[in-house]
Amino acid sequence: MTKEQYLNELSLKLTKLPQAERDNAIIFYTEYIDDATENGKPMDEIIQTLGKPEDVAAKIIADYSVNKAKEKPSLTNGLKALIAVLSVFAIPIAAPAAVAIIVVIFALLIAVFSVAFSLIMAALGLYIAVAVMLGVSIVLMFSDPMLGMATLGASMIASGILILLAYCFIKLASVMVTGTSFLIKSIIDKNRKAGVNV
């Protein structure tokens, strides 16, 4: 594969990125290949060092997604980062170490999503409790107006607290997903530096 073929293939794999990011990546890898060629390395050796264009593109997209999630933390950006980081696993990996890393990451994902699921169930339980409380307060208005008004006031306070909790749950879920993607990326980077090609 020639330098031009490699860079064209890499550019095609980076179409998910904004044009400026794609241009920066192509400039960086063009300079890298030019420097390596000037130092006498053949193109085959350069490709072996860099990896296949699709592998390099997956890593670039994962890095971009994680950086975007850091700059603008949100549930959407966190999920995009998580998906991009996990897509790096499509790259061929060293079996024993990679299996251990995948198991750890899978356990981490299960833990994070279990906590998120329990928060959603807790919120659902609170919504049901507030709805029942509102219904009871309406019934009490006819039999004991003072108690009905007090119950209605308490259910309104509970509704306000529930809205605040729902907002907090959404923010917490966003932080959990973004944090998980950062953690997974750091695990991958640490193991890559240690010589495990993840």
Q: What is the pLDDT of residues 34-82, one digit of tens each?
A: 888 888 888 888 888 888 888 888 888 878 877 777 777 666 666 666 6
How far is Cα 86 from Cα 93, in angstroms, rounded to an integer?
Answer: 13
Could you tell me which residue, 20 or 100, shows the higher pLDDT?
A: 20
Beta strands (DSSP E) in 87-147 are none
For residue 195, the number of C-alpha atoms closer than 13 Å in the C-beta half-sphere is 1
pLDDT value of residue 96: 58
With CA atoms as reference, report the closest residue to 178 among 112, 106, 132, 107: 112
How far is Cα 143 from Cα 173, in angstroms, rounded to an integer?
Answer: 43
**Average pLDDT taken over every residue of the chain:** 79
Could you tell me which residue, 129 or 120, shows the higher pLDDT?
A: 129
- Give 3-state DSSP helix, strand, coil % of the chain, rounded to 5: 85, 0, 15
Digit-coded pLDDT (tens) for 122-155: 878 888 888 898 888 889 889 888 998 998 898 8
With CA atoms as reference, report the closest residue to 181 among 35, 76, 69: 69
pLDDT value of residue 185: 75
